Amino acid sequence: MLQPLLHDLVSTVMAPASALSGADGQIRPSGVQGLFRADRRVLSQARLLIDGFEPEAVGHAPAGPGRTRFVSLARRLGDPGPDPTVRLDRVREVSPHGMSERVEIVSTASVPVTATVTVELACDFAATDAVKSGRATDLPVPAALDGQGRLSWRSADTQVTVTGAGAQARPGDEPRLSWEISLAPRARTTLAWQLAVEDPDAAVVPATGSLEWSPPRAAAADRRITRLLDQSLADLSSLRLAEPAAPGDTFLGAGVPWFLTLFGRDSIWAARMLLPLGTELAAGTLRVLARRQGERLDRDSGEAPGKIMHELRRNAFALPQEGKRVLAAYYGTIDATPLWISLLHDAWRWGMPEEEVEALLPHLGAALGWLAEHADPDGDGFLEYIDASGRGLANQGWKDSGDSIRFHDGRLAEPPIALAEVQGYAHQAALHGAALLDAFGRPGADRWREYAAALAVRFRAAFWVDGAQGPFPALALDRDKRPVNALTSNIGHLLGTGLLTKEESAQVAALLAEPSMAEGFGLRTMSSCEEGFSPLSYHCGSIWPHDTAIVIAALAGEGFDEQAATLAEGLLAAAESFDYRLPELYGGDARHQVGRPVAYPAACRPQAWSAAAAVTIAHVALGLYPDVPAGRTLLRPLAGAPLGALTVGGLRVAGGDVEVSVAHDGTATVTGLPSGLRLVHER
C-alpha cells in the first residue's frame, strides 16, 4: 500500500477537526481527502456541482484561522463571450465540532440565470491510520433523512449530521443536498450548509478560553518575517487542543492530518519555541504530560516510571511502514522526558509563576528518576532505546522512521541505539534539573551536576569520529557501541546543551555551514556526502523547518551568528515558496539547482513545530534572553542585523509586555521590562 500524497491538497483546520480538499475546494472520495476529527474521517466527499458540472477553479486563499476561500467559475451559465459572468466563492469554515460552507454565487450577466446547485456527500468513518496507510477500504455509510434539508450518519460511537438551509435532502447510498436558484441580471445569492459531529469518546477536545500566547506586533524591513509570523501564528491558533478532563490546559496538536493529537516531543518543542510569547502554553503542555507520566514498566506501550509519553490516540493505531500496531497511549520516545525537564526550566526562566513551577517538582523528580534508572538499560552511561515489544517504533528519537539511523556507507544501524542529540538533551536536562532543585530548596542537585560532567567525558570518548572535513560527533552508537559515522543535523542539537567544549562547538558550527549540509533551503537532515543521502528521504537528506530552527537558536546562543543567519534566510526563502505555511518537511535539493524548494509529497501542513519556527527566527534576530529568577535579562541580537531591521512588541517576560527593536546597524533597544529585571547588553 502507498501512503496518499498531501502536498497539493488544501487544509483547513480548527483542532481537533481538519478538512483536506483539492485546490478547487472539492472533497473527493479518494486518497486522504475528507473532514477528519479526532482520528476519524467523518466526511469523505463534498463535491459541488452546478447543473451536473463541476465549476472551474481559479484560485484559493486562507481567510483566517479555520477558514479558506475557494473561487471558481460556471462558464456554461450567463453571457456568451470570453469574460466569465457567473462566479462562485466557496467559503469553508472548520470548527472544533464540524464544518460549514457558504457558497456565494454572483452573476454579472445581462440575462437571468437559473441552475440546480448540488453538493454530493459521503461519510465512511475511516480510521485516520487506515487512511494514512492507503488501506482505507471502508464503504460509505448510507445516509438517513433526518428532517427537512437534513441528513445523518451513525457509527457505534459517532453521529454526523448535515443540514442545508432551504435545500432538498436526498438520503441513501448517494446522499446529496440540492438547491434551485434563479438570479436576475447582475444579482447574487448565498447557499449554506453545516456539518456537526457528536463524538463523546474522542481522546482530545478543543482548548477553551483565550489564546495562551500574546499575538506579537511586528514590523520588519524583510516583510517575509512578518508574513511568516502572521500565517504561522494563525495556524498555531488552530492547532490548540486539550484533554476532556482538563480543557483549560492547552497543548498544540502536532500536525495535520495525521498528528492532530498530543505528542510528547512535538508538543514540548512547539511550546518551548513559543516561550517568547508567554509561558501559558508551556504550563498547559507540562501539566498535560505530567498527568500521563509513566508509573509502571510496560513492555507493550514502552511505559516506565517517570517517563513522558510519546503519543495519544483514541484506539490502538497502525504503523503502516512497519506493519505494526501500538497502543493508544504510547511511550516509545527516548527524548521527550529530558525535553520536558528543559521546558519546565526554560518556562521558569521566562517567568512562569513560581507556584506553578513548584507544583510540577514531584514530576521533575520522577523524570530525573527515569534518567537514572530506566533510560540506560545496559548501564554504559548513555540513553538508548530498543522496541522491546516488536510492535512499536523501531527508532525513537525525532528521526523516527525505520531507515533514519545509517552509517556513512548507508548501512542501517542495529538497536539498541544511543542517539547523539539525546545525550545532549540529557546533559542539559541534568543541569536544568539541578538548577530547579537548588532554586526550590530540594536536595539532589549535586548528583545531577556530577551526572552531566561524567556524561560529557563519556560522550567525548565514544562519539567523536574523523571525517573528510575534520572530526565530528557521530549520529549514534549502535548495539555494538560502534559510532554510526554519518554527518547529520543531529549534531546541531548538541550546541547550547553544555555537552561540548568551546572548540568542539566551533567545529560543529563549521560543519553545519558546509555546502553539503547548508546549501538547501535550511539545514539538511543528512550531509549530501553520505551514501544514505536522498533529498526526498524523510530523515536522510530532507529539510525540516523545526530542526533548522532548533539549530539556528543553538548557533545564535553559542555566538555563531553568521551561520544562524544563513540558515534563517533559507527558511524565509522556503516560506515564501510555500505561501508562508511551512510544511513538516521539504526536499533537501541545493538552492542553485532547483530555485525553490521541492515539496515532500506526504508532508503534513500545518505542522506545529514548523509554524513555531517563525517565532524562533524573530526571537533569535532580537536576542532577548531573560532569567527572571536571577533578576536579569540578556540582550544579544544577531550581529549586524543580518535579517534587517526588526521591531516586535507583545513579547512576554514575567507577564510583562516587552518590545525589542533592532536597527539596521544591529543596535538594539528594549522597552517594557518588568521592574526588578536588570538589562545586560552583550556584544
**Three-class SS state of 346:** helix
Instruction: Count CB neighbours of 192 within 10 A.
Output: 16
The CA distance from 538 to 600, in Å, is: 8
User: Does 144 share its domain with 31?
Assistant: yes
- On the question of pLDDT at 638 being above 90, the answer is yes
576 contacts 525 by C-beta, under 8 angstroms: no
Cell numbers for 589 = 535539493
User: Does 436 share its domain with 389?
Assistant: yes
Residue 132 lies in a domain: yes
Q: What does residue 272 show for φ and ψ, rounded to 5 degrees? A: -65, -40
Instruction: For residue 291, give every residue at least 6 positions away whose Cβ sits within 8 Å of its Cβ, in sequence order, or none.
Output: 243, 246
Residue 67 lies in a domain: yes
Averaged pLDDT score across all residues of the chain = 96
The CA distance from 486 to 468, in Å, is: 11
Instruction: For residue 89, give every residue at least 6 positions away whose Cβ sits within 8 Å of its Cβ, in sequence order, or none.
Output: 69, 70, 71, 103, 104, 106
**One-letter identity of residue 513:** A
167 contacts 193 by C-beta, under 8 angstroms: yes
Cα 572 from chain centre: 17
Residue 438 lies in a domain: yes
User: Does 494 share its domain with 606?
Assistant: no
The CA distance from 481 to 488, in Å, is: 18
User: Does 492 share its domain with 534?
Assistant: no
Instruction: Identify the pLDDT of residue 129.
Output: 87
Instruction: Identify the pLDDT of residue 3.
Output: 84
Q: What is the mean pLDDT of residues 26-37?
A: 95
Instruction: Count CB neighbours of 460 within 10 A.
Output: 14
CA distances from 267 to 135, 225, 241, 274, 287 (A): 28, 23, 10, 11, 12
Tell me what percent of the residues of the chain surpass a pLDDT of 90.
92
The CA distance from 635 to 645, in Å, is: 16
Instruction: Identify the pLDDT of residue 61.
Output: 96
User: Does 427 share its domain with 525?
Assistant: no
Instruction: Identify the pLDDT of residue 506.
Output: 98
Instruction: Count CB neighbours of 156 within 10 A.
Output: 6
User: Does 401 share its domain with 498?
Assistant: yes
> Residue 423 burial by CB count (10 A; 0-12/13-18/19+): exposed, middle or buried?
buried
- On the question of pLDDT at 167 being above 90, the answer is yes
DSSP character at residue 211? -
User: Which pLDDT band, with edges at 50, 70 and 90, does 49 fall under?
Assistant: very high
> Residue 472 burial by CB count (10 A; 0-12/13-18/19+): exposed, middle or buried?
buried
Helical H segments across 9-50, by residue range: none
Instruction: Identify the pLDDT of residue 683.
Output: 65
Residue at which a domain ends, from 451, 482, 511: 511
CATH number of the CATH domain containing 144: 2.70.98.10
Residue 554 lies in a domain: yes
User: Does 27 share its domain with 173?
Assistant: yes
Q: What does residue 539 show for φ and ψ, rounded to 5 degrees? A: -130, 5
Tell me what percent of the residues of the chain surpass a pLDDT of 70.
98
Cell numbers for 85 = 459572468
Polymer length of the chain: 683
Cα 124 from chain centre: 27
Q: What is the mean pLDDT of residues 381-402?
A: 95
User: Does 30 share its domain with 160?
Assistant: yes
Residue 221 lies in a domain: no
CA atoms 22, 27, 28, 32: torsion sign:
positive
CA distances from 653 to 349, 484, 633 (A): 9, 41, 9
pLDDT in tens, 416-434: 999 999 999 999 999 999 9
Cell numbers for 524 = 539538511
pLDDT in tens, 486-504: 999 999 999 999 999 999 9
User: Does 474 share its domain with 529?
Assistant: no
Q: Which residues are 669's β-sheet partners?
A: 661
**CA 395-401-402 angle, 5° bins:** 70
The CA dihedral of 458, 462, 464, 466, to the nearest 10 degrees, is: 150
Residue 256 lies in a domain: no
Among 58, 80, 74, CA closest to 107? 74
> Residue 59 burial by CB count (10 A; 0-12/13-18/19+): exposed, middle or buried?
exposed
> How would you classify the pairing of strands 632-635 and 678-681?
parallel
Helix (H) or strand (E) holding 358: helix 354-359
CA distances from 459 to 50, 492, 571, 587 (A): 66, 15, 31, 31
The CA distance from 69 to 60, in Å, is: 5
26 contacts 41 by C-beta, under 8 angstroms: no
Residue at which a domain ends, from 491, 511, 531: 511
Q: What is the mean pLDDT of residues 376-395?
A: 94
User: Which pLDDT band, with edges at 50, 70 and 90, does 605 fall under?
Assistant: very high
**CA 137-141-145 angle, 5° bins:** 165
pLDDT in tens, 295-343: 999 999 999 999 999 999 887 655 544 454 445 899 999 999 999 999 9
The CA distance from 589 to 220, in Å, is: 28
pLDDT in tens, 258-286: 999 999 999 999 999 999 999 999 999 99
485 contacts 495 by C-beta, under 8 angstroms: no
User: Does 533 share its domain with 592?
Assistant: yes
**Three-class SS state of 215:** coil
Residue 569 lies in a domain: yes
User: Does 60 share its domain with 193?
Assistant: yes
Cell numbers for 11 = 487544509
Residue at which a domain ends, from 610, 642, 670: 610
Residue for grid cell 531507515: 403
**One-letter identity of residue 618:** A
**One-letter identity of residue 349:** R
> Residue 441 burial by CB count (10 A; 0-12/13-18/19+): exposed, middle or buried?
exposed
CA atoms 278, 64, 246, 267: torsion sign:
negative
pLDDT in tens, 51-104: 999 999 999 999 999 999 999 999 999 999 899 999 999 999 999 999 999 999
User: Of the given ranges (387-391, 581-585, 644-648), which has the lowest mean pLDDT?
Assistant: 387-391
How many structural domains is the chain composed of? 3
Residue 417's domain spans which residues? 376-511
Residue 536 lies in a domain: yes
Instruction: Identify the pLDDT of residue 326.
Output: 47
Helical H segments across 578-667, by residue range: 591-594, 608-622
Instruction: Identify the pLDDT of residue 17.
Output: 97
The CA distance from 495 to 424, in Å, is: 8
pLDDT in tens, 229-249: 999 999 999 999 999 999 999
User: Does 531 share its domain with 402?
Assistant: no
Instruction: For residue 267, give every residue at least 6 positions away whose Cβ sits within 8 Å of its Cβ, in sequence order, or none.
Output: 251, 252, 253, 254, 285, 288, 289, 608
